[in-house]
Amino acid sequence: MSHLFPFQQQIVDWSLDRDCSAIFADTGLGKALMQITWAHEIAERTGGRVLILAPLAVASQTAREAVKFGIADVAASRTPDDTTACIVITNYERLHLYRDIEWAGLVLDESSILKSVDSHTRDDLTKWGKTIRYRLCCTATPAPNDHTELGNHAEFLGVMTRQQMLGEFFVHDEDQVAVQHWRLKGHAHRLFWQWVAGWAIAVRRPSDLGHEDGGYSLPPLLVDHEWVDDDRQSDDRLFAVEARTLDERREARLASTDDRVAACAVAVASEPNEPWIIWCDYNRESEALRRAIPDAVEIRGSDTAERKEQALLDFAEGRIRVLITKPTIAGFGLNWQHCARVCFVGLSDSYEQWYQAVRRCWRFGQTRPVHVRVFAGEGERAVIENVQRKAREAEHMMEQIVRYLADARAAKQPGEYQRDIATGDGWTLHLGDCVDVVQELDRDSLGLSVFSPPFPGMYVYSASERDMGNTHDLREFAGMMRPLAVGLFSATMPGRSCAIHLCQTTAQKVRDGYVGVKDFRGNVIKTMQRAGWIYYGEVCIDKDPQIKAIRTKDQGLLFKSLARDSSVMHMALADYVLQFKKPGQNEVPIKAGISERYGNPDGWITQEEWIEWAAPVWYRAGKDYPGGIRETDVLNVANARDERDERHMAPLQLGVIERCVKLWSAPGDLVYSPFAGVGSEGVVSLQLGRRFVGSELKPSYWRTACRNLGDSVSQLSLSTQEAS
């Protein structure tokens, strides 16, 4: 690989260490050379053939790069029969001709096409690509703030599906109606970029990888906006009205077409010896430009692939002086450093089209300042401002992705695992992973364990890879929970119970590919049974469907859905408390009350209470059930949140905990919560005369739980003093 610069060799070596990877390298850094070298090494390694898919006209350009650097057995191809080369380069449009051939490797050149093509084509390409072991994606413009494009890359490379990525790292705000409004979970930033760093490398210049930039510096880019009148003045306004809506923008474009074309023609005529590339969006614009500029050649979408490819090649080699086309046709992958004059006769709102179109000429290897002229009507200022805003945001975000990925490559662990322990009168709280802590508990020491486990895919509690909430699916959750279930079984007294609070989890179209319910309850039951527990009973906890509808915007609960199409309606999901019992005889009978230390005769379960509690449903508090479960009866958690926490803290209702502790533990028993959170189970246990031990993985929750447990003991001591 002597033909590579050191930074290029580092990137290729990194990619070859992985079966599947992505290279996000800026224009002019030699992606074509790097992907050819990668393909050559894969062909040598496997003895097979490698297919490179590229945009129109880029295939022949890439083949010329291979010849230039002495890489043999590479050929641009139109049909499978025209070459037997080990490395075959063809256009995306011709993929169907090559699908039935066995390929050892596959390269997607300008892989941002994964975002641009329709979902059927993308899904088809991704499914077919899975049959090929070695895959490489190369592009200059991944949208780092566009989770869709990153998710599409990860899915094509077989790293993770887009739905899995959203479920693990992103959150969909409940107050946002748009289903596409996903954002990174507050404390998942570092974990997300470390995940991306495992399969992608991003570089804007060699120094991003610790190398000298050398000749990799760009000449000046000069952008001028030339405004023309568009004759859109209303009767009561002196000047043209700025177009804001889509219809207004189209109207503005049409109204100013002749003036924009005329201004562009004057500019091109003023420098008759310069090559010019003129970008437009509408056929009306390109037709008018061709008529106004005598020696210009127009490429249209309706032209044959052969004509497009030949015209693009003729422009690259200087046989055409003025080329008129659209960014959607020729905006990707082509090297036109011979040209330093660029015109836009109108702009769309797409920053990517702007960036790629400019970068055909303004790229590493360009020796002259590149002059870009944008001809627009006065009413189009909103479009120009929108593109400029996106340009600033993209530049900032690309700096972020390069830094994040560099930091992630250097990091050894996504987060530092911490252990600590705090104790008080009747309680012990461990900072650490419950799977570790439960192994340290004495055998047959627990009178009861009661807790609400993390719900996979619904909330994220921490960035730790030990956190059971950071699992892709129910299967992975079960794998992480099984050691806990086994540890609980060993630590629990024979004949005693484990009470688990949970709700079913929902499947979402964006995250899971369908809308429905996932059987989290059944998953937990099977996991506990496999650890030796007896599935002994359960109770359903009533929920308010109106509160659920307001909070979640669930279409299946809304009145408007009922009026429009009731086939989408479903009932609100209830909570459950599952009771599991360890086999054996209970040696310490449980008297349904509390110890005399706290002198509370009301602590005994009355017959009226048992009639209500024995029902298969625990109803929410209301007129008919004044002693029911109040959804807001929880500990204050405001102080437990870290600065970047999401709205994910969901403590268990104190009334639910109280019923479990009274029913299934005796005064003086040791009650354990493996997911202590802010200490809810501990506070109730102490108030009912039990001892408590808990574990919590997240430091901020652990500190809050310590305060809550300490405050609870202080309040109990004060109550005892007052009673005496």
Mind listing the pLDDT tens digit for each residue in 477-494? 888 889 999 999 999 999
pTM, 2 dp: 0.58
Local structure of 244: helix, strand or coil: coil
Question: In the prediction, which pLDDT does 403 show?
Answer: 76
Local structure of 371: helix, strand or coil: strand
Dihedral-angle region of residue 538 (phi above 0 means left; psi in -120 to 50 means alpha; beta otherwise)? beta
pLDDT confidence bin for 237, thresholds 50/70/90: very low
Q: Which two tokens stand for residue 713?
A: 């003991």
pLDDT tens, position by position, 533-582: 999 999 999 988 887 777 666 778 888 888 888 888 888 889 999 999 99
Q: What is the DSSP-derived secondary structure letter of residue 63?
A: H
CA–CA distance from 565 to each of 514, 568, 569, 572, 683 (Å)?
A: 18, 6, 8, 17, 46
Query: Could you tell me the domains of the chain?
Result: 6-159+199-209 (3.40.50.300), 221-408 (3.40.50.300), 427-723 (3.40.50.150)
Please name which of 83, 81, 40 lies closest in space to residue 60, comparing C-alpha atoms: 83
Question: In the prediction, which pLDDT does 2 show?
Answer: 66
Are 581 and 489 a contacting pair, CB within 8 Å? no
**Quick one: CA dihedral 611, 616, 620, 623, positive or negative?**
negative
Q: What is the DSSP-derived secondary structure letter of residue 220?
A: P
Q: How far apart are CA 278 and CA 607, in angstroms?
A: 86
Are 470 and 190 a contacting pair, CB within 8 Å? no
Contacts of 561 (CB under 8 A, 6+ apart): 555, 568, 569
pLDDT tens, position by position, 609-653: 888 899 999 998 887 788 889 888 888 654 444 444 444 445 789
Q: How far apart are CA 222 and CA 341, in angstroms?
A: 10
- The predicted model gives 324-331 an average pLDDT of 87
Contacts of 345 (CB under 8 A, 6+ apart): 260, 261, 264, 278, 279, 280, 285, 289, 375
Are 197 and 409 a contacting pair, CB within 8 Å? yes
